Amino acid sequence: QVQLVESGGGLVQAGGSLRLSCAASGRTFSSYAMGWFRQAPGKEREFVAAISWSGSNTYYADSVKGRFTISRDNAKNTVYLQMDSLKPEDTAVYSCAAGIGIVSINKVRYDNWGQGTQVTVSS
């Protein structure tokens, strides 16, 4: 079990950048695949990006590919989401998640979730 705390959200103009961080507690962080998901008002939670425990494999939703970059620092128990060229449709609450096993784009494979951080992109 790990506890996750996101930070770095905020208000940004279209075309701008934000870097989200997700700090994890626990000594077994490096055993977990990590994912970022987002939920906009009135919509279901959707996959954004995921990274394997070693960081060697990454996956992205088509909507963010080429604009967002997921990375992790196991020494700091932290996973990051660098978001560039932001668009108004990226506005959502972004949550990080941790799951034991093979990295997945499916939210049901993650059983540890943070509270989320709001990202708002103005046009």
76-102 pLDDT, tens per residue? 999 999 999 999 999 999 999 999 888
Q: Does 46 have pLDDT greater than 80?
A: yes
Rounded CA separation 123/108 (Å) = 33
Q: What is the pLDDT of residue 1?
A: 84
Average pLDDT over residues 69-79: 96
Two tokens, residue 93: 């609450």
Two tokens, residue 21: 């961080």
Q: What is the pLDDT of residue 101?
A: 82
Q: What is the pLDDT of residue 28?
A: 87
Task: Give Dmax (Cα) for the chain.
Answer: 42
Q: What is the pLDDT of residues 9-27, one digit of tens each?
A: 999 999 999 999 999 997 7
Beta-carbon count within 10 A of 99 CB: 22
Q: What is the dihedral of CA 108, 98, 68, 119, to 10 degrees?
A: 90
Average pLDDT over residues 61-71: 98
Q: In angstroms, what is the C-alpha Rg of the chain?
A: 13
Average pLDDT over residues 22-43: 93
Rounded CA separation 67/82 (Å) = 8
